[in-house]
């Protein structure tokens, strides 16, 4: 039972566990390295860090340098319908890259090249052990935990072609964190958790991860059929209805907004949009 994070300190990033209101050093520079080492227990004399206040350096992305980030599109029925699509038989997948990720409370700088900057709250699966062609049982064992992502989307670039990647990989636009919560913290490897997005206090998205078409275990088995999943890899499981692009009229982020993407039991990303 644990909440884990990668935090920023004066000496660089550190992997930590939240214990009794303090961050306890896990002995590694980040959670990716910690998971790759088999998630050992912290030393008895491990350093500790504050969780808030002037001496807290803030959260880095939960895993700052995953070997891969695989995102799933069209995984909530209501979002598929609002985007005018049919229910898929298989997951729709696209990549992100480490350079896309930022900390859970970092500002998001809106690229000057877009007028269609949009939000997407997502449950993320974090892989804890190397797995390929996983059975359901192996997939369950490979899930280290879950975290929150705001899959910020540059819609005008996303829909320039039928392939979405160019609208999803803009540098330093995707907050992920603040904590990785282990499955026992949230009811197992197929959790039913409330997800929401608010923009300046207005609720834009609200749903439950129990309604995912393709659940976390299935996604690990499916994706690992194609490629090895490594410790620290992230799978973003898709977003529910309520994105700005699907509204009439469309609503986009222009700068100055406070966007909160939250998942019960996991925490929230709180980000201010900054016009470039």
Residues 6+ apart with CB under 8 A from 180: 3, 4, 5, 31, 62, 126, 144, 145, 146, 147
CA distance 224 to 230: 10
- In-domain check, residue 177: yes
Band of pLDDT at residue 111, cut at 50, 70 and 90: very high
CATH of the domain at 206: 3.90.850.10
- In-domain check, residue 167: yes
- In-domain check, residue 24: yes
Q: pLDDT of 58-105, one tens digit each?
A: 999 999 999 999 999 889 887 777 777 788 899 999 999 999 999 999
One domain for residues 73 and 144: yes
Confidence (pLDDT) at 84? 75
One domain for residues 17 and 118: no
Band of pLDDT at residue 262, cut at 50, 70 and 90: very high
What are the beta bridge partners of residue 96?
A: 69
- In-domain check, residue 95: yes
- In-domain check, residue 145: yes
One domain for residues 88 and 160: yes
Confidence (pLDDT) at 1? 64
One domain for residues 110 and 243: yes
Contact 253, 119 (CB under 8 A): yes
- Total count of domains within the chain: 2
One domain for residues 105 and 206: yes
Confidence (pLDDT) at 203? 98
Q: pLDDT of 12-24, one tens digit each?
A: 999 999 999 999 9
Percent of the chain exceeding pLDDT 70 equals: 100
Inter-CA distances, 180 with 92, 130, 144, 205, 266, Å: 24, 18, 8, 22, 7
One domain for residues 29 and 136: no
Say whether pLDDT at 173 is over 80.
yes
- In-domain check, residue 109: yes
Band of pLDDT at residue 276, cut at 50, 70 and 90: confident
Percent of the chain exceeding pLDDT 90 equals: 91
One domain for residues 241 and 186: yes
Confidence (pLDDT) at 235? 98
Say whether pLDDT at 176 is over 70.
yes
CA distance 268 to 150: 9
Q: pTM of this prediction?
A: 0.95
pLDDT, mean of residues 171-200 = 97
- Domain boundaries, position 210: 69-275
pLDDT, mean of residues 164-188 = 96
User: Running DSSP on this structure, what letter comes out for residue 142?
Assistant: H
Tokens coding 196: 């929401």
What average pLDDT does the chain have? 95
One domain for residues 177 and 115: yes
pLDDT, mean of residues 144-166 = 96
pLDDT, mean of residues 159-183 = 96
One domain for residues 83 and 40: no
- In-domain check, residue 63: no
């Amino acid at each position: 039972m644990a909440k884990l994070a990668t935090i920023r300190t004066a000496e660089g990033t550190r992997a930590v566990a939240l214990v009794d209101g303090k961050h306890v050093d896990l002995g590694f520079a980040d959670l990716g390295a910690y998971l790759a080492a088999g998630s050992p227990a912290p030393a008895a004399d491990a350093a500790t860090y504050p969780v808030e206040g002037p001496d807290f350096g803030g959260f880095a992305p939960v895993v700052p340098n995953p070997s891969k980030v695989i995102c799933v599109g069209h995984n909530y029925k209501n979002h598929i319908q609002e985007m005018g699509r049919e229910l898929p038989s298989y997951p729709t997948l696209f990549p992100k890259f480490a350079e896309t990720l930022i900390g859970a409370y970092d500002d998001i700088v809106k690229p000057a090249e877009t007028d269609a900057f949009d939000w997407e709250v997502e449950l993320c699966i974090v892989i804890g052990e190397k797995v390929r062609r996983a059975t359901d049982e192996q997939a369950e064992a490979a899930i280290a935990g879950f975290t929150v992502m705001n899959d910020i989307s540059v819609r005008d670039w996303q829909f320039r072609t039928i392939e979405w990647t160019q609208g999803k990989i803009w540098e330093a636009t995707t907050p992920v964190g603040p904590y990785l919560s282990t499955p026992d913290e949230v009811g197992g490897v197929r959790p039913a958790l409330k997800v929401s997005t608010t923009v300046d206090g207005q609720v834009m998205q609200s749903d439950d991860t129990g309604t995912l078409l393709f659940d976390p275990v299935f996604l690990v088995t499916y994706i690992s059929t194609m490629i090895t999943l490594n410790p620290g890899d992230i799978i973003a499981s898709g977003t529910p209805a309520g994105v700005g692009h699907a509204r009439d009229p469309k609503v986009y982020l222009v700068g100055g907004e406070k966007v909160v993407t939250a998942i019960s039991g996991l925490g929230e990303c709180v980000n201010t949009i900054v016009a470039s």
